[in-house]
Chains A and B, each alone.
Chain A
Amino acid sequence: MDWAAVLGAGALIPLLNAGIRLAMPTGLAAVGEALCQRAGVLNLSLEGILLSGALGSFLGAYYSGQAWIGVIAGVGLGVAVAALMALLSVTFKTEQVINGIVIVLLAGGATSLAYEKLFGVTTTPPRFDTLPSLKIPLLGSIPGVGAVLFDQNALVYISILAVGAVWWVLYRTRFGLSVRAVGERPDAADAAGVNVDRIRWCALLVSGVMGGLGGAVLIVAQLGLFRDNITAGRGWVAIALVIFGRWSPLRVMGGALLFGITDALQLRIQAAGGGVETGVPFELFQALPYIVTIAVVVAATAWARDDAQPKSLGFPYEKEAGTRED
């Protein structure tokens, strides 16, 4: 294997560039999930949101020929799935874990059904060209940094802005303060006049926007096609990243970037290694992201010094039963 092609200085810039790109779908979903969990809702439907966003963006972009219509459609479907989650978890207050799992299964079935109905079963799936790179003038010419950060497709810039926006909303706005209050002490927030259920609804919808956008980035900017279960567990990885990032959007995004770079690295090692005939089985590379995710969550949970998990995470707030003594 040509290790210079994998790890050499000349390979570093494209590696980081690809890493940032690959990090975005999972990262967006994870940051949205972080906000949602800060409001106390364990949104396990995230994989379903991503998958629906992926299908929505594919259909939008394929039929209109416009990437931005794809993005809007993806976000729209993501929000729709999140709204179903909110209806069950916040309005009806049924068990959040079950809601999430069932919605993931529903989204899996519904996206396959829609795609098969529209395109049939084909060996050559319809495709479109993914977004080209959009080099930002001046900034893109900075040596090193420019090629890594400012020579990306338009959706990467939008994603970075979206992540920044979630951070800003969570820590610098009244809504964000309510979100954090509702996640820690819903009873106290309620007493202070915050509408707990409304805040949680909104948090879930934000998670839908971010997850839908993540799905759209995956399709419109990276793959240009749709397949059953194309998100391949990215939503679950994103939930794991929330734990890894201790519920802080920026740390969660940092984790996503590390993952993206790891992903880019393993793709490159596989390519340089020559595929199937190497000594290392390629299935190991395929399983690696999931193994690494498990390891990272175990490490993050085991070594956490503070209990960063929102105190009311997973528990619906019911006024009449809200006489907990804690």
Chain B
Amino acid sequence: MRRATLRSLLAHKLRLALSAVAIVLGVAFVAGTMIFTDTLDRTFTALFQSTASDVGVTAEAGFDAGVDGTAGTRPVPAELAQRIRGVEGVAAAEGYVQAEGVYLLTADGQVLDTGGAPGIGASWITDPELSLGELTEGRAPERAGEVALDSGSAAEAGYTVGDRVTLLTPGPRVDATVVGVFTFGEDGGLAGASLTAFDLATAQDLTGAGDGYTGIQVLAADDVTDAELRDRVAAVVGDGYDVQTAQQQADEQSAALEEGLSFITVLLTAFAVIALFVGSFIILNTFSMLVAQRSRELALLRALGASRGQVTRSVLVEAAVLGVVGATLGLAGGFGIATGLRALFGTFGLTLDGDLVLSAGTVVWSYAVGVVVTLLAAWVPARRAARTPPVAAMREDHVAVERSLRRRTVVGAVLAAGAAVTLVGSAVAEDGGNAPALVGVGALALVLAAVALSPVAARPFARALGALLPRLAGTAGRLARDNAQRNPRRTAATASALMVGLTLVTGFGVLGASANASVDALVDDALRADYVVSTAVGQPFTPEVADRLRGLDEVAAVLQERFTQVQLDGQAVFAAAVDAATLDRGLTLEYLSGSSDGLAGRGVLVDETTAEARGWEVGDTVEAVSAGGQRAQLTVGGVYAANQAVGSVVVSLETDAALGGPALDRYVHVVLAEGTDAAAGRAAIESVVESYPVVSLKDRDEFAGEQKGQVDQVLLLINALLVLSVVIAVLGIVNTLAMSVLERTREIGLLRAVGMTRRQLRRTVRLEAVLISVYGSVLGLGLGLVLGVSLTRALAEQGITELVVPGGRLVGFLVLGALIGVVAAAWPARRAARMQVLDAIATA
């Protein structure tokens, strides 16, 4: 029996290749995702574990802000380091200062591109055992005017020891001499970030830390464990400080970073699932066809005395062999995908150094997934084959009995109802936070419902759309239509692959178009100023820019805008901090009560939704706590209609500073003086902005364009990944058609014998493919619209206020779907046309 199985495998090399492709792609996606995720993980774990100290001390946060860079932290007083040094078991303790917003300028005055990763400035820790970096050249910075650069940045900017460099800092610009170059972490990698080291006093000056520290690093003596030392240090420093072992710090930072990058992992995993989902259709299809084609061969085996179990097993063994081969190739393909992803993320500034990580888990999962999915997909047709009575299969005109679609209809209807309830639920949900999750669940149910129902709908669809075909393409058209209707399960399964891909492309297309329209609406409705000055990615920058702009004659008003996280009456919110005096000149807020005057003193403006939810009215007092632990009593001075530019809460710059917010602007809105020529005004502003290469000047349209560019970039990333799922879909169609052509060899022979030309035959195959791909596209577009609209609605609170359906693009997708059919049909059509008439007729 085994010999029969293996012979059959080798006898059908082509079929083998076709089915293997599906498995390879599915596994490649899974393996690629896992390899990439592991590599990400390794990079960052290495980064954090390079922390040399055993115990670290930092000021305790007022609350868990969750988002980095928005919360000011309290400095740790210098005398604390002295006290820690006195603790038994402490070998060394040293304070350090660290802040973001320090950028290195290249020789031609441009900011060294970190691609969105932070530019970090820090004090050099003098104790070599505690030091973060390891000097590879020169020495450590010892006085003002000296810096050490991380090796990556130094190499990229072309600096070496002895060069003069200029740095942008949150404070003034700094000119300094490079005295050293150091590596950081295991691979010298900073994941794209740049790190500049100063001597302690300079770092304290630059970051405004006074004589305090950002934190204190503690080295344990040999006879004490980290945990013991942590407890002893904690006892000494008292309340208000976080004391953590190196491991705790690394874990916490990794966790925070992983959370930040979780969307990537989630996205990739989602694609892996889709790829497998789609891939298993193809495998199922392939095996159904393989088995159908071999039904006579299998029946012969049955007639010769093979048991049902043996027949089932022989098919399953075939599947297992195929699964192992496919998984192996898929694993190799996964390396390709991971390499591509690494390059892609590199262009976004997230540089991953070192080799790709292949963990045992990846290998195990790849094989498990490849083999198990293949076995499962082969199980159904294998059982069906075993159940075929030998006599029926041996008969000349054996036609597989068509099974009822009733169960599918019922399952599909139930799923569809569930999806509808969930999606409607997400639209009317009180708590907006759960809406996106509900949409996710609803969308999954909807796609599954569509998968279950699509065979039911395939026939009516093929009949309806196919009604045009005989008119357009005569007999070729009619045969194509009939063939597409012949096995609705197969048609539907093949179309499903494309459907899933197009559902997502369409859904994200709607979301992206809506996001872009929302940007336009925001610019039109909320921005009032003539120009906006900001960095491309919303990084903070020095308030010096705003100060210098205020000094220009051409400028009438300057509005600084910062963002901060603050707890109001026990609940954390995102707050905008603005110039109270110029708020109304730079931004349009529609006040329902109170006005911008309400910001005076310790005033706070809140939007309608927040006011209603919290029951606040003008004149109420709320308790504010900053992430750094500072407290203030704020008075509600006004309520405004929801506004995307400022979010739900607005305070004045003074209040923000009192709460310990860092003096770094995110946006500076500039209003030109009346009567100023636009060109002259722009030139004047440009002359200031020029000297701060991190920031750029944008008029309203340019600002909108920049915001939309970010949306488009994310869409591009998503679509690039989806292209891969479309590739799988194309291969699925190729696979199905190639199988159908093989299966219909005798029909093709007959058609050719009675006078169908090769061209007509090619056209028949092509039209069938187009019918299938258009069916998948139409389903995908429909589902995608539902998904996109639900998602957009669910994200309304996140700023996607407009709903736009990109009609032109959707039509484009449909045309693309049809083209995919034509492309996918090319090879099977040629195969069909090349068949020798006599061979085809003679095939028994």
Pairing of A with B? no
Residues on A lying within 8 angstroms of B by beta carbon are none
